[in-house]
Amino acid sequence: MLDLDLAVSIKRLSVAFVPLMLGIILHEVAHGWAALKRGDPTAAMLGRLTLNPVPHIDPMGLFVFVLTSLTGPFVFGWAKPVPINPRNFRNIVKDTMLVSFAGPATNFLLATFFAILLRLLISLFPLGEWQGNTFWDFFFLMFQTGVIVNVGLGWLNLMPIPPLDGSKILWGVLPPKLGFQYMQLERYGFILLILLLMTGALGYILYPLIRVTVDLLFSAIVLS
Which residues does the annotation mark as catalytic?
A: 28
Distance CA 31, CA 78 (A): 14
| 36: Cα separation from own chain's centroid | 21
Beta bridge partner(s), residue 79: 57
- Identify the three-state secondary structure at position 200: coil
Q: Are 172 and 93 in contact (CB under 8 A)?
A: yes
- Identify the three-state secondary structure at position 49: coil
Beta bridge partner(s), residue 57: 79
Q: Are 27 and 157 in contact (CB under 8 A)?
A: yes
Distance CA 115, CA 218 (A): 7
**Residue 148: closest CA among 37, 68, 63:** 68
